Amino acid sequence: MTIVVQDLALGGNGLSVMIKDTLDIAGHPTCAASAALADAPAALAHAQVVKDVLAANCRIIGKTSLHELAFGTTGINQWAGTALNPLYPARIPGGSSSGSAAAVAAGLADFSIGTDTGGSVRIPAACCGVWGLKPTFGRVSRQGVMPAVSSLDCVGPFAADSERLIAAMQAIDPSFKALPAVAHLNIGVVPVQAHPEVQAAVDAALQGSGFALHEQPLPGMAAAYDAGLVVINRETWNACGHLLATGKVGADIAGRLQAAADTSDAALATAEQVRQAFTAQVDAALARFPILAMPTMPDYPLLLSEAADTRAVIGMTAFVRPFNLSGHPALTLPLIGASGLPVGLQLIAAKGADELLCAVARELSRRLAR
C-alpha cells in the first residue's frame, strides 16, 4: 500500500507538505503513478504551485501516489500500489489524489496538494475523513501540472482541520485574502438521493450549525454530471491517449482511454451547452444563498473488494463533478455516519468566493464542536 512515491527534502522549516505526482518538481520525474511514464525525464522547473509553497517557507517532504494518470475515482493502482486509507483501511482511499488524502489522514504532513478534475480532491478527502478544497477554476495556477491543458482541473489542498486547510490556501494562492465574518448566513440545501445514514449525518450537521437553511434544488445536476464526463474523456484522451502505444498503461485505464477516444465533437458541443446552462443555474442559486450544501458522496466509501472496476463505481462522483463543469469552488469537511464510517459535507460558493467558503466551513465546524 503506497502513499509516498518519492521522499524529498525541499524548502524551509515551516509547514510540511506532500505533492501529488502530477505536479512538476525540478530534478524529479512526473510519473502520474503510471508505468507508461516510469522513464519520464526529470522536470526542468517547479510547477508554479510548488514555487508558491516554497516561497511560503513550507517543507516539501514527498510526492504522493494517485489513481493512474489521475483518471479514476477509487485510488486503486495495480502498478504503483494503492494508498492505504489510514482511518478506514478496508475502504478505498478515493481518487485520483489518493496518496495526498491518505498522507494527511496518516499525519505524515501538515497539508498536501492534489488536483480535482471530476472530484479528485473532494472524493479522497471524504473517503479518508479529512478536509479537501477544489478552488474556483483558474484561481490557483496550473502551470507545471499534468495535464497541461484542462477546462476542469483545479489544484487544491487537503488538511486534517480547517486552520491548516486555510494555511494551505494562503500558501498556494498568493491572492487569498483574510476570511470574512460569517455569524449569520443563509445556506441553500440541495436535495439529492443519498444513503439514509449519509443524508442523516449531513442533515444533523447543517441543523446543528445554527445557519438558516432553505431548500435549493439544482435540477441540472444530472445533466452536468454526464456532460462533465464527456469533457473529461475528450481532454484526457488529448493529454494521455498517446501513452497507449507504450503498452504499459494499466488495463482498466487503457480501456477507459480507448473508450474516451470515441468522444465525438457533437457530444462535446452538447456538453458545452450544458456547462453554460448549469453554470447559470448555480450562479442564480448562489445569488439567493451565498453557500450551497449537500453530501460529498451519495454513499459510504466502497470496500476495496467491491471497487475493482472504475467504470462500475464512477457514480460516486455524482455530487462533485457538476461543480468542476461549472467552475465553482467546493469544499468537503469530514463527518461520521451512524455506522462509524466517513461522510463528507460539501459546501459550494460563488466563483472567487473561496475565502467565504473556507470561513463558513470553519465556523460550521467550530459550532459543531461546542
Catalytic residue chosen out of the listed positions 20, 63, 134, 351 = 20
- Which pLDDT does position 2 carry in this prediction? 80
20: annotated active-site residue: yes
Q: What is the pLDDT of residues 3-41, one digit of tens each?
A: 988 899 999 999 999 999 999 999 999 999 999 999 999
- Which pLDDT does position 175 carry in this prediction? 96
Catalytic residue chosen out of the listed positions 65, 97, 120, 150 = 120
- CA angle, residues 323, 153, 192, in degrees to nearest 5: 20
Enumerate residues 6+ apart whose C-beta is below 8 A from 115.
20, 22, 23, 70, 96, 97, 121, 145, 153, 154, 155, 156
Q: How many structural domains are present in the chain? A: 1
96: annotated active-site residue: yes
- Which pLDDT does position 313 carry in this prediction? 82
Model confidence, pTM: 0.97
- Mean pLDDT over each residue of the chain, to the nearest integer: 97
Question: Which CATH number is 319's domain given?
Answer: 3.90.1300.10
- What single-letter amino acid sits at 242? H
- Which pLDDT does position 1 carry in this prediction? 60
Residue 355: which of 174, 188, 169, 210 has the closest Cα? 169
Catalytic residue chosen out of the listed positions 34, 63, 65, 96 = 96
Low-confidence ranges of the chain (pLDDT < 50): none
Pairing mode, strands 131-134 and 4-11:
unpaired
- Which pLDDT does position 8 carry in this prediction? 93
Q: Which domain holds residue 299?
A: 4-369
- Which pLDDT does position 338 carry in this prediction? 98
